[in-house]
Structure 1
């Protein structure tokens, strides 16, 4: 009897990389970029700088940390396409779908590699505290309606941001009770 692949350990897990790899992705996932930065290699294998994505979501699966993702040239160009900007600072709050492409050329070899694409789910804008105008409007809607139903018809909010927004509204109401 063979084990389910989710119950098995991929050989690349032994290398314990601080970055997301094809061994981490069992099925395509949709995540939201929290920030994109140019930073040195955390593996200390090189002194190169890499375009690196960090994500709002903290776990790839229950109990398993979602690591940052180094972008090669292909994935960097895809981020430019998805955001309409070649500047890393403009890539925050972008929803992306990460999947494994089994046919990536790397130094003349065909290997598995991570690829980015537009998410399937939605073209709705993501509301985050960094977009103050949308954040304020979402808070006003929550106070007015007592929920975020109308907001979520037109935009997306991560569960973490929903919790933050509700907490901010509750704190605002506690500090400024209506008369």
Structure 2
């Protein structure tokens, strides 16, 4: 799309994710949501603020937290089945730009969360880079829980991945298999 162009709103340098940051629907993982006072210091308002597991929106570009307005908060409630922000963690969402958000009498660009949970990619050894990342996560964590939160892997491929990691470990170290 226009990934290499600079949106005019970038000049305003908001501490929050905005329509200037999203160039296409983007799948992100909500790490947690907290009530926080406005970091722009323009108001003393308190916002539901989503923080993400991912650190970058694009390579070299820091991912900012996102204010969850009433519409996006209702969507999070629908996605999680809970009205409590404490339960809105480790949730994969798709954030996109809606060009027709009502703000007073105007229509403006605004961020929206899709009411549909994003589909997980299926990981196979053919995806060399992602397979390597999954192996690194398994070696780091000792299990596949974090990997399976982001991708689907067949039981056969889970066993293959763990076996490949075992080959690289000393004989006395074990591995945890998910059942």
TM-score normalised by length of structure 1 = 0.69
Paired residue for 1:122?
120
User: Do 1:38 and 1:49's aligned partners in 2 also have CA atoms closer than 8 Å?
Assistant: yes
Q: 1:16 aligns with which of 13, 20, 24?
A: 13
User: Do 1:30 and 1:97's aligned partners in 2 also have CA atoms closer than 8 Å?
Assistant: yes
CA distance in 2, matches of 1:77, 1:111: 20
| Correspondence 1:62 to 2:59 | yes
| Correspondence 1:44 to 2:41 | yes
Paired residue for 2:27?
30
SS of match in other structure, 1:70: strand
CA distance in 2, matches of 1:96, 1:79: 9
CA distance in 2, matches of 1:5, 1:177: 48
CA distance in 2, matches of 1:106, 1:60: 26
Structure-2 change in CA distance of 1:88 and 1:147 (3 Å): closer
Report how many aligned residue pairs link the two structures.
Answer: 141
CA distance in 2, matches of 1:177, 1:10: 51
Q: Which runs of 5+ in 1 are unaligned?
A: 124-141, 159-165
Larger relative helix fraction:
1
CA distance in 2, matches of 1:54, 1:30: 13
- Cα drift, residue 147 of structure 1: 8.1
User: Do 1:103 and 1:112's aligned partners in 2 also have CA atoms closer than 8 Å?
Assistant: yes
| Correspondence 1:94 to 2:87 | no
Paired residue for 1:156?
149
Structure-2 change in CA distance of 1:177 and 1:96 (3 Å): closer
CA distance in 2, matches of 1:5, 1:100: 13
CA distance in 2, matches of 1:59, 1:80: 25
Moved over 3 A (4+): none
- Cα drift, residue 5 of structure 1: 2.5
User: Do 1:30 and 1:119's aligned partners in 2 also have CA atoms closer than 8 Å?
Assistant: no
- Cα drift, residue 14 of structure 1: 0.5
TM-score normalised by length of structure 2 = 0.69
Paired residue for 2:78?
81
Paired residue for 1:71?
68
Paired residue for 1:138?
none
CA distance in 2, matches of 1:24, 1:151: 26
Structure-2 change in CA distance of 1:77 and 1:147 (3 Å): closer
